[in-house]
Structure 1
Amino acid sequence: MTETLDTSIPSAAGASDRPAHRDSNVLRWLGAYLSSMVGDSVYYTALSWAAVQTGTPSQAGVVMAVSALPRAVLLLGGGVIADRLGPRRVVIGSDAVRCAAVLAVAALLFLTTPGLWPLAALSLVFGAVDAVFIPAVGALPARVTAKDQLARVQGMRGLAIRLANVVGAPLGGLGVAVGGAATAFGLAGLLIAVSVPLLISVRVRELPADDKDGKVGTLHTTDATDVPEAAPAQPRRELRDGFAYIRGHRVLAPLMLAIALGDFGFVGPLNIGLTLLADRRGWGASGMGWVLAGFGVGAGIASLLLAVRGRLPRAGLVAAYAILAGSVAIGALAYVPSLLGAVGVSLLVGLLAGLSGAMCGALLQTQAEPAYLGRVTAVASLVSLGLAPLSMPFAGAAVAAWGVAPVFVVSAAVCGLGGVVVLCAPALRRAELPR
């Protein structure tokens, strides 16, 4: 190990010296994460505006969607890279590449009118980089704080995501209004760039000795400086090891199934079903916006609760009951006649979904051995970001064939099965977060 970089803190212990919201190391990580997420939101606003202004609507749709393919194809491999090189190093490299790519396109748009090809290329680059960025981001919190603070960190991360969504789109729109897409891209690049020095200053915990010395095949990684200690195993073998690890884990295996069922039951109604429901109820786009705002407020309250509370007892049971109650609220949303009632129900859905999501995320972080976290996060992310969105076309077709209410009920039942899985898996049902 090199001793020129002092980026390590002692190996993760069961309890921390100070709560995460008062830990300067965690706050630097949170600042980097928030800056990167706001930059992402500005980037997507700029990309959609530039694509619509440059090409036809169908071409713009292709540009916006083209990043999904490399993200889905490479995501599992990204988990291997995050575990092999260390999540901190991977996140720093990913943000540096994304920053350079966005600023290059911004410069190109300032100087000329190149057409759609640089936008499509940028979208492809973002998709490929996201494939390694997403697993590394998921694995990093366990290296910057102790296990007893991970629930609080999940809440802080949720608040950062909500804030980025609220701030990012208006900033992107302001950038477009002031100087066009080039200015907005430049702003996005600068925001992403802010995260790099913050991440460099973040100290990371070493892997526990049992993780480094024999539980990951031939993978030996230290996070003292994110430098591999020994020749790594073959990527395919590491990926197989990750799947075998999840499959044989008494908590992670049913937890992955519960997450998958929850995402498949939730994505369709929230994205396609809600739009069709608002249209058929006569609420219009503004009404749909209010319902989505209710969901966002509810999820934000759940994140704030965890950020302040830090830990909830009986995490497995809390997750199960929140999933079951949330599934009932999802089904009820299709039967609420008034807009005000729908906003109230959506707030409840957001609160319960935010609570169950944070509990599942915290359990994933605390139950997985740190050396496997990149691959574990990659599998969970592939389900949520790669496979669950595939349900949206089927949800739309089902609404056209059978109506809104039956689709919401079926989706709620699928979602509720996730809670049933948690209750039927004794180790997951009894799982606790560290004190």
Structure 2
Amino acid sequence: MSDFRDEQERQWPQLEAMKEYTDEILIPPGIDASIWNGIRAARPRRRRKIYTRLAAYTACLLLLVSVASVRFSPVVAAYVGEIPGLRALVELIHYDKGLELALENDFMQPVGLSAVQDGIRMTIDGVIADDSRIVVFYTLENEEKQKSVINLKTVELVDNKDISIASSFYPSEEGWKSIQGTFEFYPNQGAGIPDNLNMRFVLDKVTETATTSPEWQLTVPVDKAKFEGLKEIHDINKTVTVEGQKITFGTMTVYPTRIEVEVNYDPENNKRIFYFDDLRLEDENGETFGTINNGVTGSNISDDQQVLYFQSNYFRKPQQLYLRASSIRALDKDKLEVKVDLEHKKLLTRPDDLLTLNEFDQGILFFGFKDTELKDENTINGSFSNDYRDASGKTFHSSRGGSTITNGVKEIQYYLEQMDYQSPLTLTISDYPTRIHGDIDIKIK
């Protein structure tokens, strides 16, 4: 593997020579049709609650299958074609057009640091960073070809607790050879981007004879001069009304890796707005940049305030830009609570007949959704808040969830703490496949 790595490092200078050529080429409009959903996983930010969407394990498997059929734009293909190992890294971000553009525009910081623990080599391949987030690309290699199954246990910055972390990790099988993924870091308010990421990784590794937890600590430099001052701010400050619900779009901040849009919902609205199905930025050529659909999709400041994250068009520099949408998932505020009778295994209250309780077994609530549309198969994974309470008013926390699709019917699993409860339990809906509709068309510039 050392020859592979030496060749990769030797090829990195070619990027500079290719830069002048690639700067002159644009990706044809319509490439967004090939974007597909990646793994959705995120950890809470300390300053404000993270508004996330976690894909089911089936989505993870779908991603693995889809990698083989990814179509690169001409620019990306030319950019990575002669660089061993980089094509696989591009596959990791193909769901995010903004990160692709960042790579095309020489925004990747090559790193190439590696260390070996317990026969597994961890390599930090590169970094894409700005003031909004840091995307770290890594490769794990099974150098001793051990029969083992590994799972990511811990990722942390050992000396910086003001930066939150999300990661993508592909499940391994016995005899695996190589795994690639990303870690994403989000600075909390006032934290800033450090000069170095002192990263600690721990894997659960199960071999034929023992269970071990190999650990790596690597210091990854971040070239802050590369992105200093790279952002644009637009004051939208416009209010729209959709089926009686008032929505105000505030400031939009454009970074190279993502776009942040502040959204405020009128407290007098009678519906809780969960998410926009098709909110997007569209330029004068009809090219769209949608909301980020993997990892951290937005942040909840309060019930009536959010920051939504979009794929970035920073390197496109559009002359005209519009914010558009037509469909929003929402539910009446007086229907947000679901009461579950544990003794009789039935729902005492629910929003409508769409939601069913299929089973309660071994501390797991199995919910079903009738007539689930294809577009809802991922969105309803996070239908309930992690916090719930029993009849005594005591609050508990669900730390796990899952989902399955059987004969086209969606079922989600909600894991309860092992406690003696006073029935009924009260769960709070955090997403639901009911909608309001109306054309949103706001000119930003």
Structure with bigger gyration radius:
2
The answer, yes or no, to whether TM exceeds 0.5 is no
Q: Between Structure 1 and Structure 2, which shows a larger proportion of helix residues?
A: 1
Higher strand share: 2
